[in-house]
Structure 1
């Protein structure tokens, strides 16, 4: 076996072991999806992952997304799928819907691609693997450093992370782009070259070109060391936040956090900011962390007893508790069209199983007031204030019925996702099943909290 292939297979095998240790991926019930563009990085991933997964009896499929940003992109995507299936590797093409914006096209394409990957992963209970490598990592750190990113940002890409309840894996962060090109060559596989990857109009391309200059070898090494140190420090900070919250905070799903005011006031300012950032991430469910400036302003207002809205939360200090409550009415209100028998992420907080096609919405003030108080679900929530209750989702079915949520554990729903029918899933075909998503972020090789409280 050629050395690059052996190194890649070893990295991927170790990565699958790590996925199991996250506690979020069950090898006997879950599969693997590989995000494939046809470039050398993702093609090497598909070639190696197909073999490693077959040896481990793990379901595998390559997902090719056509963004429609270039003429001929659809034909190119079809060629990639044909090349993979010709090797006996399961592969499917998906096409992004809707026109691309005039600006921010790469960010738009990335968001659309992640939506498709997450949707497919949720339907099959799969983790998603990406072909990011050591050179990508150095570029990411350099770009974030230039923007003044904090500790979490300088950690760059984590080998394991959660995004919208889906486990993301990056098994090749220890390999170089040259290694992955060698893997493709060893398999005799032709890869696609995207011209946008050489267009200096994009920041990442300019950063890559600067780092690839012969005189920047030391800079590349420094970026990798900085990322490694930042990752360890960020993981330690997160562990300390989780430990403190386990002793001094109570979460109600991802809708409310109540922190003991006395314990919080005894922390120094930097520790209070870390705790606030963590809790805002859980309850606010925003796509990006709260900035340092916003945290400083929030602490100033809390010290004077003022209410504040920050990071998608209403925050208030009382004599006994610091309360963070998910902000209702923040536009746009989430609304999701669904098909029967599928899993969906809703409101960045919930993983839901739709027994019927229709539209998922929040209950809202009117829906919470008009709820059937004798319904078992609402009987169990009778002590909830309206501010929490109106954040709950319900399904407005095409059959004219309103489906109310039935709470299940995150593990129950995820382990059921890969099964074919509702009965096999253990999900009743008439129940609108709901569980709380873990917050996005890096995963350590231990089970993470899901806030199902």
Structure 2
């Protein structure tokens, strides 16, 4: 076996073991999706993952997304699918819907691709693997360093992470692009070359060209070391925030956080900013963390007793508590068309199962007023302020019914979609069930007798 292929297979096998240790992926119930564009990185991933998953009896499929940004993108996507299926590798093509914007087209295409991958992963209970490698990591750190990113940003891409409730994996961060090209050559597999990857109009291309200069070998190594150190420090900071919040904060789903004012006031400014950033991330439902400047401004206003709106939250300090409440009414209000029997991420806060086709919306003031809080299911909501209740989702079914939420666990939401054991299937066939999504971010691995003692 060629050395690059052996290294890639070893990395993938080790990664599957790591996925199990995240506690978010069960090999006997879950599968693997590989995000494939047809370039050498993702093609090498599909070729290697198909073999390793077959050997491990893990369900595998390659997903090809046509973003439609180039005239030949659809034909290229079809060619990639045909090449994979011709080798006996399961593969499907999906197409991004909607017109591309005039600006930020690459970011738009990336987000659309992620949404398609996440949707397929939710329906099949799969983790999504990407072919990112060591050179990608160095580029990402360099770009974020130039923007003044903090610890979390400089950590760059984590080998295991959660995004909207879906596990993402990057098994090849220890390999180079050259290694993955060699893997494709060993399999005699032709890969697609995207001309935009050489267009210096894009920041990543300019960064890549600078780092690939022979005189920048030391810079590449320094970027990787900076990423590793930042990742360890960020994990430690996050752990400290979680421990502090477990002792001094109370969360109501991802809608409200109440922090003990005395304990918060005793922290130094940097610790207070870390706690606020963490809580805003949990409650705010925003795609990106708040900036350092926004945190400084928020602390200044809290010190003077002013109410503030930051990161999708209403924030206020009282004599006893610091309260962060999810902001209702910020346009556009989330609205999601749903098909019957599918899982969805709604409002970046909820994993929901739709028993009927229809539209998922927030309850709003009228829906919250109409909700029967005398019903045993909603008894716990009697003490909720309207501001929280209005944020709850409901399903406006095509059958003319309004389906109100039934709170349950993550595993029960998944079983409602028929993804668990046979005796659990159909457990909530007619119920609109939901649970809180865990917040996005890097995943840690559980220690075992043979790992990380």
The TM-score, its normalising length taken from structure 2, stands at 0.97
Whether the 8 Å CA contact 1:160–1:169 is kept in 2: the answer is: yes
Q: Secondary structure at the match of 2:102?
A: coil
Query: For residues 231-280 of structure 1, what are the alpha-carbon distances to aligned partners after superposition, in whole Å with 9 as ceiling and x for unaligned?
Result: 00000000000010111111111000111111101100000000000000
Whether the 8 Å CA contact 2:343–2:352 is kept in 1: the answer is: yes
Query: For residues 289-315 of structure 1, what are the alpha-carbon distances to aligned partners after superposition, in whole Å with 9 as ceiling and x for unaligned?
Result: 000000000001111111111000001
Alpha-carbon distance in structure 1 between the residues aligned to 2:54 and 2:35: 18
Alpha-carbon distance in structure 2 between the residues aligned to 1:364 and 1:136: 43
Q: Secondary structure at the match of 1:71?
A: coil
Instruction: Quote the offset at 1:449 in angstroms.
Output: 23
- 1:214 is matched with 214
For structure 2, the 5+ residue unaligned runs are none
Instruction: Quote the offset at 1:99 in angstroms.
Output: 1.0
Q: Secondary structure at the match of 2:374?
A: coil
Q: Aligned-residue CA RMSD in angstroms?
A: 3.3
Residue 156 to residue 415, structure 1, CA distance change in 2 (3 Å): farther
Instruction: Quote the offset at 1:71 in angstroms.
Output: 1.1
Residue 108 to residue 314, structure 1, CA distance change in 2 (3 Å): same
Query: For residues 85-124 of structure 1, what are the alpha-carbon distances to aligned partners after superposition, in whole Å with 9 as ceiling and x for unaligned?
Result: 0111000000011111111110010011001001101111
Whether the 8 Å CA contact 1:360–1:394 is kept in 2: the answer is: yes
Instruction: Quote the offset at 1:445 in angstroms.
Output: 1.0
Q: Secondary structure at the match of 2:92?
A: strand
Residue 17 to residue 82, structure 1, CA distance change in 2 (3 Å): same
Alpha-carbon distance in structure 1 between the residues aligned to 2:418 and 2:121: 9
Residue 446 to residue 154, structure 1, CA distance change in 2 (3 Å): same
Query: For residues 347-403 of structure 1, what are the alpha-carbon distances to aligned partners after superposition, in whole Å with 9 as ceiling and x for unaligned?
Result: 000000000000000001111112122323222311111111111000000000010
Residue 421 to residue 234, structure 1, CA distance change in 2 (3 Å): closer
Residue 422 to residue 119, structure 1, CA distance change in 2 (3 Å): farther
Q: Secondary structure at the match of 2:7?
A: helix
Alpha-carbon distance in structure 2 between the residues aligned to 1:282 and 1:420: 27
Q: Secondary structure at the match of 2:34?
A: strand
For structure 1, the 5+ residue unaligned runs are none
Alpha-carbon distance in structure 2 between the residues aligned to 1:51 and 1:415: 29
Query: For residues 31-58 of structure 1, what are the alpha-carbon distances to aligned partners after superposition, in whole Å with 9 as ceiling and x for unaligned?
Result: 1100000000000000011111111111
Whether the 8 Å CA contact 2:352–2:433 is kept in 1: the answer is: yes
Q: Secondary structure at the match of 1:235?
A: helix
Instruction: Quote the offset at 1:405 in angstroms.
Output: 0.8
Alpha-carbon distance in structure 1 between the residues aligned to 2:336 and 2:448: 27
Q: Report how many aligned residue pairs link the two structures.
A: 453
Q: Which stretch has the larger CA shift, 379-388 or 34-43?
A: 379-388
Alpha-carbon distance in structure 2 between the residues aligned to 1:419 and 1:328: 33
Q: Which stretch has the larger CA shift, 419-428 or 232-241?
A: 419-428
Instruction: Quote the offset at 1:423 in angstroms.
Output: 6.7
Residue 26 to residue 221, structure 1, CA distance change in 2 (3 Å): same
Alpha-carbon distance in structure 1 between the residues aligned to 2:201 and 2:418: 42
Q: Secondary structure at the match of 1:366?
A: helix
Q: Secondary structure at the match of 2:215?
A: helix
Alpha-carbon distance in structure 2 between the residues aligned to 1:432 and 1:194: 43
Whether the 8 Å CA contact 1:184–1:191 is kept in 2: the answer is: yes
Whether the 8 Å CA contact 1:436–1:451 is kept in 2: the answer is: no
Q: Which stretch has the larger CA shift, 418-427 or 360-369?
A: 418-427
The TM-score, its normalising length taken from structure 1, stands at 0.97
Alpha-carbon distance in structure 2 between the residues aligned to 1:308 and 1:100: 35
Alpha-carbon distance in structure 2 between the residues aligned to 1:119 and 1:237: 31
- 1:44 is matched with 44
Alpha-carbon distance in structure 2 between the residues aligned to 1:23 and 1:416: 20
Q: Secondary structure at the match of 2:116?
A: helix
Q: Which stretch has the larger CA shift, 405-414 or 305-314?
A: 405-414
Determine whether 1:284 maps to 2:254: no
Alpha-carbon distance in structure 1 between the residues aligned to 2:448 and 2:442: 10
Q: Which stretch has the larger CA shift, 128-137 or 16-25?
A: 16-25
Whether the 8 Å CA contact 2:360–2:395 is kept in 1: the answer is: yes
Alpha-carbon distance in structure 2 between the residues aligned to 1:176 and 1:209: 15
Instruction: Quote the offset at 1:18 in angstroms.
Output: 0.8
